Structure 1
Amino acid sequence: MTIAEVGNIVEFKDGLQGVVEKVNENSVIVDLTYMENFDELEVEEKTVINHKRYTIIHGSGN
């Protein structure tokens, strides 16, 4: 399991994407305002995602 780093872009739950703002022991805090269609989705600006539940789309190593 690869753990995201701050600044990475991750995808989770049916294609939602966000920028990692903080890395915790078991999860990351993600800013969803990165998505172009954020306003249409009616979701919170930030969310917590378990490390097992996301894929790194773009990161410092990509």
Structure 2
Amino acid sequence: MKIAEVGNVVEFKDGLQGIVEKVNENSVIVNLTFMENFNELEMEEKTVINHKRYKILYSNED
């Protein structure tokens, strides 16, 4: 399992996407305002995602 790094774009939970702001031991903190439809979703700006629950779409190495 590849762990995301700060600045990576990840996808989780049925297509939601965000930018990784902090990497913890078992999870990442993701900023969801990256999504174009963020305002329509009525969600918090940030969320915590376990490393097992996301996939990296864009990394700093691409």
TM-score, with normalisation over the residues of structure 2? 0.98
- Matched residues in 2 for 1:49 and 1:61: separation? 21
Distance 1:60 1:47 in 2: 21
C-alpha displacement of 1:54: 0.1
Counterpart position of 2:26: 26
TM-score (norm 1): 0.98
Instruction: Map 1:7-22; keep pairs closer than 5 Å.
Output: 7-22=7-22
Partners of 1:7 and 1:61 in 2: CA distance = 10
For the aligned residues, what is the CA RMSD? 0.5
Matched, 1:57 2:44: no
Secondary structure of 1:40's counterpart equals helix
For residues 40 and 57 of structure 2, what CA distance do their matches in structure 1 show?
Answer: 22
Identical pairs, percent: 77
Q: What does residue 48 of structure 2 align with?
A: 48
Structure 1 segments (4+ residues) deviating >4 Å:
none
Q: Would you say how many aligned residue pairs link Structure 1 and Structure 2? A: 62
Question: 2:13, 2:43 → 1: CA distance?
Answer: 13
